[in-house]
């Protein structure tokens, strides 16, 4: 009887410790040298992006000016959206194309355009709807706003409250999509000799995934097995009583 019960318990424990499948295991892998993860070029604006445009000293021409209380987020409604033609309609300028330019390029473009109407314009463009997503073994997974200044991988992990004790920090995945094509870059954050190239600048819509270690699968398997073990132990006791 003891042999049978022990065998059942062993089967339950082992079956509970199955390895969790990698969330992005089927994504095409890339390497740091490809244009997909080239951090020397800034991300470009596209149709659907929501912008605030601040012109110093000219709130009447500004849209969501950073110099007023109506500037912080999408909920204020103080923004302009790039339409499907890649254009926006701005005071004094009318329709102007901003898609396919970086934020720095748009700032320069608008300064040149507004020089016809304003002396030495100082312009600040902010994108409201650029996010990166972090999933897996971090304390606060979710979407995080990507400001105009570049956010690097380690900075995002800090924003997410750091990694959990089960984080497999030797295989952190960054998934990036361009023109419907997605690729994955896997970096080892424990290799300090390659830290600079591993700590890449993130782009809008990037997804960062920190997979779990085998220890998490083992611990979860054991925690799930405890109730089963208790039930089977009780059953074994009852059976032994009746057999007597």
Sequence-distant (6+) residues with CB within 8 A of 21 are none
Which pLDDT score is estimated for 3? 45
Sequence-distant (6+) residues with CB within 8 A of 74 are 50, 128, 129
Q: Are residues 168 and 210 in the same domain?
A: yes
Q: Does residue 22 surpass a pLDDT of 50?
A: yes
pLDDT digits (tens, 9 = 90+) for 35-68: 678 767 788 999 999 999 999 989 888 987 655 5
pLDDT digits (tens, 9 = 90+) for 106-139: 999 999 999 999 999 999 999 999 999 999 999 9
Asked whether residue 191 is assigned to any structural domain, the reply reads: yes
Which pLDDT score is estimated for 147? 72
Asked whether residue 5 is assigned to any structural domain, the reply reads: no
Please count the structural domains in the chain.
2
Asked whether residue 242 is assigned to any structural domain, the reply reads: no
Cα Rg, the chain, nearest whole Å: 27
* Pairing status of strand 201-202 against strand 151-152: antiparallel
Last residue of a domain, one of 107, 127, 147: 127
Say which CATH number the domain at 105 has: 3.30.1950.10
Asked whether residue 236 is assigned to any structural domain, the reply reads: no
Burial per residue of 97-132, b for 16 or more beta-carbon CB atoms within 10 angstroms, e otherwise: ebbebebeebbebbeebbeeebeebebbbbbbebeb
- Interatomic CA distance for residues 142 and 136, integer angstroms: 10
What average pLDDT does range 140-161 have in this prediction? 89
| Domain range enclosing 190 | 23-41+130-215
Asked whether residue 175 is assigned to any structural domain, the reply reads: yes
Which pLDDT score is estimated for 64? 77
Asked whether residue 237 is assigned to any structural domain, the reply reads: no
Asked whether residue 109 is assigned to any structural domain, the reply reads: yes
Last residue of a domain, one of 127, 144, 170: 127
Q: Are residues 135 and 120 in the same domain?
A: no
Last residue of a domain, one of 127, 148, 178: 127
Q: Are residues 34 and 55 in the same domain?
A: no
Q: Are residues 56 and 30 in the same domain?
A: no
Judge whether 208 and 133 are in contact, CB under 8 Å. yes
Asked whether residue 111 is assigned to any structural domain, the reply reads: yes
Judge whether 185 and 209 are in contact, CB under 8 Å. no
Q: Are residues 36 and 146 in the same domain?
A: yes
What average pLDDT does range 224-242 have in this prediction? 59
């Amino acid at each position: 009887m003891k042999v049978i019960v022990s065998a059942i318990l062993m089967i339950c424990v082992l079956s509970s410790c199955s390895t969790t499948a990698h969330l992005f295991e089927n994504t095409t892998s890339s390497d740091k040298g490809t244009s997909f993860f080239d951090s020397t070029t800034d991300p470009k604006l596209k149709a659907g992006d929501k912008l605030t445009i601040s012109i110093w000293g000219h709130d009447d021409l500004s849209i969501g000016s950073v110099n007023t209380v109506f500037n912080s987020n999408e909920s204020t409604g103080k923004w302009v959206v790039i339409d499907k033609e890649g254009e926006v309609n701005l005071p004094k300028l009318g329709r102007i194309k901003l898609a396919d330019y970086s934020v720095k390029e748009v700032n320069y473009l608008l300064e040149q355009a507004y020089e016809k109407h304003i002396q030495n314009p100082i312009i600040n463009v902010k994108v409201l709807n650029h996010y990166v997503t972090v999933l897996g073994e971090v304390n606060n997974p979710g979407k995080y706003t990507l400001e105009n200044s570049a956010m690097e991988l380690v900075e995002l992990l800090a924003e997410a409250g750091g990694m959990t004790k089960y984080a497999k920090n030797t295989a952190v995945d960054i998934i990036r999509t361009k023109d419907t094509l997605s690729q994955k870059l896997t970096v080892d954050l424990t290799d300090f000799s390659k830290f600079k190239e591993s700590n890449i600048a993130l782009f809008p819509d990037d997804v960062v995934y920190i997979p779990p270690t085998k220890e998490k699968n083992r611990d979860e398997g054991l925690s799930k097995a405890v109730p089963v073990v208790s039930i089977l132990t009780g059953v074994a006791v009852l059976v032994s009583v009746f057999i007597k």
